[in-house]
Amino acid sequence: MKQFFLKLFTWWNSQTFGTQLWTWRFGEMVGVDDGGNRYYRTRGGKIDPSLGFERRWVIYNGDAEATRIPPGWYGWMHHTVDALPADQGYTAREWEKPHRANPTGSAQAYRPSGSTLASGKRPKATGDYQAWTPGQ
């Protein structure tokens, strides 16, 4: 019952009921990435008359976070390339790091030494500024 209400009322938990219905009715799965995200397009690659190109969408494995799309699939999703990453033989270059989702807002987020979130209390001022007081 909980899953039913999540799909009915929320978009951030994988997919909504409407997206699931649209995918079942008009979509065809074209691939899955390493993170388990599933990629779809309009059945048969049919051109959508209102858009002028085929629709492409992703059903996320978990939270709907756009930074979870790897570079090869990003190009396909945004119509930069028409070949699927699997068909194209996409491989990362030796200097590229493995894809990571954006950690902003999570415990893994980068917090520099001057950040109030880094140590839990504000570091002492270093004297590189003078406080302004009204009337001076």
| Interval 12-28: pLDDT, tens | 556 677 777 878 888 89
CA nearest to 86, candidates 21, 30, 126: 30
In a domain, 8, yes or no: yes
Based on the structure, what is the number of domains in the chain? 1
Q: What is the mean pLDDT of residues 30-59?
A: 86
In a domain, 92, yes or no: no
Higher confidence at residue 57 or residue 102?
57
pLDDT at 131 > cutoff 90: no
In a domain, 113, yes or no: no
pLDDT confidence of residue 11: 55
Parent domain of 12: 2-86
Higher confidence at residue 49 or residue 69?
69
**Distance (Å, rounded) from C-alpha 110 to C-alpha 83?**
35
CA nearest to 76, candidates 87, 84, 68: 84
Angle between helix 17-26 and 2-9 (nearest 10): 80
**Distance (Å, rounded) from C-alpha 135 to C-alpha 21?**
65
How many helices (H) and strands (E) are present in the chain, helices listed first?
5, 3
In a domain, 15, yes or no: yes
In a domain, 32, yes or no: yes
Amino acid letter, residue 90: Y
Highest mean pLDDT among 87-91, 103-107, 115-119: 103-107
The mean pLDDT of the chain is 79
Q: What is the mean pLDDT of residues 80-105?
A: 80
User: CB–CB of 29/57 below 8 Å?
Assistant: no
Cα torsion 118, 123, 126, 127 to 10°: value is 130
Q: What is the mean pLDDT of residues 68-81?
A: 87
pLDDT confidence of residue 10: 61
In a domain, 95, yes or no: no
In a domain, 114, yes or no: no
In a domain, 42, yes or no: yes
